[in-house]
Amino acid sequence: MPPFWIVDAFTSRPFAGNPAAVVLMDQKYEDAWAQQVAAEFNLSETAFARHLADHAGWELRWFTPTTEVDLCGHATLATAHVLAGETSVGPLRFFTRSGELVVTNTDGRYWMDFPSAAPVPAEEPPSLADALGVKPVGVWSGATGDLLAELPDAETVRDLTPDLALLKHIHARGVIVTAAGSPEYDFVSRFFAPSVGVPEDPVTGSAHTVLAPFWAERLERSELLARQCSVRGGDVYLRLQTPGRVMIGGDAVTVMSGELS
């Protein structure tokens, strides 16, 4: 039976960061079965990794409880953490819906080489302010299919209690809210995606492919430390090195493992 792990990503301690399920497969599987497994775990993401001998890497797919997604950071980090302890030596190569992704372990931290693109100004949806309970400073659209809303300050981001029923009808994969951070962090964010079965994601790697270039331009810095300030919370390290790519760094810790029956 396929083995699985539950890994808390973007944290160095258990019961923080973003939990992901990782299932290692030794053969092909049905999409419907994978979706049922993800619904059973009922975490924001379940990752399915299958070794590809002819590619010297791994097929990697990500499922929320309701749908398959094109890109997921924390479940990729969680998968790298599992493979680093189980089978792998050196960089890990994942073949995904978003192309080839490479993860390395440097100085005890995982670094994911992800595609990145700065968001573009967008028209504010009529119901967005009501859904958030606050008027955004500005609104942008990201290549991930997410809407980015800048809020007045970090405290507003932390204290936000959005109307998830209204947010579910915003035409976007999810809504990222962000603001400049405190002295410890360059910026803070939160991520809501009720339309894909994730009311609030604790720490969202893919959202930082949009946030990194957004804040790098404003702060005139290529290395950033971000805090996603959900209840569980997590730290995300960012390096913009080449156009169209961002290195996303984070820690991870395994909290349980077993086998599917």
**pLDDT of 21-44, one tens digit each?**
999 999 999 999 999 999 999 999
Length of the chain, in residues: 261
Catalytic residue numbers?
Answer: 45
DSSP secondary structure string for all residues of the chain: --EEEEEEES-SSTT-SEEEEEEEESS---HHHHHHHHHHHTSS-EEEEEEEGGGTEEEEEEE-SS-EES--HHHHHHHHHHHHHHT--S-EEEEETTEEEEEEEETTEEEEEEE----EE-PPPTTHHHHHTS--SEEEE-TTS-EEEE-S-HHHHHH----HHHHTTSSSS-EEEEEE--SS-SEEEEEEEGGGTEEEESS-TTTHHHHHHHHHHHHT-SEEEEEE-SSS-EEEEEE--STTEEEEEE-EEEEEEEE--
pTM, to two decimals = 0.93
pLDDT higher than 70, residue 86 = no
pLDDT higher than 90, residue 242 = no
Q: What is the pLDDT of residue 106?
A: 85
> Which distant-in-sequence residues (6+ apart) come within 8 Å of 106 by Cβ?
none
Q: What is the pLDDT of residue 24?
A: 97
Q: What is the pLDDT of residue 107?
A: 79
The average pLDDT across 58-83 equals 96
Q: How confident is the model at residue 88 (pLDDT cuts 50, 70, 90)?
A: low
> What is the rounded CA–CA span in Å between residue 11 and residue 164?
26
CA within 13 Å, CB half, 154: 13
Top pLDDT among 147 and 86 is at 147
The average pLDDT across 76-104 equals 88
The average pLDDT across 9-15 equals 96
For 193-223, what is each residue's pLDDT tens digit? 999 889 999 999 999 999 999 999 999 999 9
Q: How confident is the model at residue 183 (pLDDT cuts 50, 70, 90)?
A: confident
pLDDT higher than 90, residue 182 = no
| Range with top average pLDDT, 5-14, 82-91, 236-245 | 5-14
Q: Which domains does the chain possess? A: 3-113+249-259 (3.10.310.10), 120-243 (3.10.310.10)
The average pLDDT across 98-104 equals 95
Q: What is the pLDDT of residue 89?
A: 57
The average pLDDT across 43-54 equals 93
